[in-house]
A and B are shown apart, each in its own frame.
Chain A
Amino acid sequence: MERHVGNDRWTWTAIFLHWVIATLIIAGFALGEYMGDLAVSPMKLKLYSYHKWLGVTVFALTIIRLAWRAFHAPPLFPAGMPSWERLAAKAAHALLYALIFMIPLAGWLGSSAHGFQTVYLGVIPIPDLLAKNKELSDILEEIHEQLNHALLLIVIAHIGAAMKHHFIDKDDILRRMMGIKGQQK
């Protein structure tokens, strides 16, 4: 069997989605940090729109990713991995998924409350769930920002863990997320 998915390999779809979503999140994060302090200009309006479109894209891709995951079980952890590490990895991944969902939601709701509808790619209007409301928009935008700070911390830990697996434990965790054939067994 070539496609022995579910024990030690990720499907190409899962690998593709992981890296596309990771790239979009890093771009959206950097954009979000950069655009806020700009003086109002056409460029600022464009960057805000791009940032929102990135968020909507991440949200949609993550739904697809989780749906895919429901039918394609992730590979098992390496045999020698301590149970606390397994637990930490599972918790971190669950938290990452939760944040990937909540951050775009808070951004979209905050934008609605601010009085700006989100129009995906400038053509597909996403309905406003909330009416314009200054206090609520301040709160939601603060939540959006704080969740992003939490995400940053967890992503740093996540990358750190990937590096530890690769360079210290010398296992296949990083390799298998890149679709490179395992070295052990």
Chain B
Amino acid sequence: MKKLVALVLTTLIFIPGALFSAPVVKDKSSIGFAARQMGVPVAGSFKRFDADVRFDPKDAGKGSASITIYMDEVDAGSDDGTIEIKRKPWFDVKGHPKAEFVSTSLKELGPGRYEVAGKMTIKGRTRGVVAPVTVKKEGGLWLFEGAFAINRLDFSIGEGPWANTGTVDDKVEVRFRFLLPATDKK
């Protein structure tokens, strides 16, 4: 029953946008993050995620994105860091195996420039985020690129002694790059 509802819902959500809706091309898309500890930039990434993006350049307002990140496949930039970041004080990947982003609006700012707003859920905490996105055609694909900053403590990422921002900055930059097949049927 649950599955049926899910199927119907998915169909309802995605069929109307079928023209420009698609899962992203996985091996070309990426979600990375950049943090700073003791002034040292540390770059990481999420190796596994599902992302569905709907986009119609002629009707940008109807665009949307929904992204699910599988937290167990995070790479924190070093072996030690990757082990540590999965632990309870950080992502707690056992307790919260998925992070999610669901867009609530897409606004056109200028040619090829948009602003996406949405709800980000990490570690069970949901916060609103806004990110600029540039969209362009690249090799027959749509390329969506953008970055935005979050405060890790808003999501309780780094609890206990790690909550002290003297060692690891509160601010973390998230960078995304999605490519999806341009199903041009003009």
Complex formed: what's the CA distance from A42 to B165 in Å? 10
Say which one of A90-98, A114-122, A146-154 lies at the interface with B.
Answer: A114-122
- A114 close to B164 (CB less than 8 A): no
- A119 close to B39 (CB less than 8 A): yes
Given A45-B167, A46-B167, the answer on whether A40 and B80 have CB atoms closer than 8 Å is yes
Interface membership of B57, Cβ < 8 A:
no
Interface membership of B7, Cβ < 8 A:
no
Interface membership of B11, Cβ < 8 A:
no
Report B-chain residues with C-beta under 8 Å of the C-beta of A121. 39
- For chain B, what secondary structure do more than half of its interface residues adopt (helix, strand, loop), or is it mixed? mixed
- B80 close to A116 (CB less than 8 A): no
Interface membership of A62, Cβ < 8 A:
no
Interface membership of A183, Cβ < 8 A:
no
- B42 close to A42 (CB less than 8 A): no
Report A-chain residues with C-beta under 8 Å of the C-beta of B162. 42
- A116 close to B42 (CB less than 8 A): yes
- A123 close to B161 (CB less than 8 A): no
Which residues in chain A, 33-49, are within 8 Å of chain B measured between CB atoms? 40-43, 45-46, 48-49
Complex formed: what's the CA distance from A146 to B139 in Å? 51
Given A40-B84, A42-B162, the answer on whether A49 and B40 have CB atoms closer than 8 Å is yes
- CB-CB nearest in chain A for B41: A117
- A45 close to B38 (CB less than 8 A): yes
Within 8 Å by CB of B161, from A42, A114, A116, A117, lies: A42
Interface membership of B151, Cβ < 8 A:
no
- A45 close to B37 (CB less than 8 A): yes
Complex formed: what's the CA distance from A40 to B167 in Å? 12
Interface membership of B77, Cβ < 8 A:
yes
Interface membership of B78, Cβ < 8 A:
yes
Within 8 Å by CB of A42, from B40, B41, B168, lies: B168
- Residues of B within 8 A of A (CB-CB), count: 17
Q: Shortest Cβ distance from A139 into chain B, in angstroms?
A: 16
Report B-chain residues with C-beta under 8 Å of the C-beta of A122. 38-40
- CB-CB nearest in chain B for A121: B39
- CB-CB nearest in chain B for A137: B78
- B40 close to A117 (CB less than 8 A): yes
- A42 close to B164 (CB less than 8 A): yes
Which residues in chain B, 19-46, are within 8 Å of chain A measured between CB atoms? 37-42
Q: Shortest Cβ distance from A131 into chain B, in angstroms?
A: 12
Complex formed: what's the CA distance from A125 to B38 in Å? 11
Complex formed: what's the CA distance from A118 to B38 in Å? 10
Q: Shortest Cβ distance from A135 into chain B, in angstroms?
A: 13
- A49 close to B84 (CB less than 8 A): no
Q: Shortest Cβ distance from A45 into chain B, in angstroms?
A: 5
Given A42-B161, A46-B38, the answer on whether A115 and B77 have CB atoms closer than 8 Å is yes
Report A-chain residues with C-beta under 8 Å of the C-beta of B161. 41-43
B residues adjacent to A (C-beta < 8 A):
37-42, 77-78, 80, 83-84, 161-162, 164, 166-168
Known: A40-B83, A114-B78. 7 other contacts (CB 8 A): A42-B168, A45-B38, A115-B78, A116-B42, A116-B78, A117-B40, A119-B40
Report the 6 A-B pairs with minimum CB-CB distance, sorted nearest first: A122-B39, A42-B167, A49-B38, A119-B39, A40-B84, A119-B40
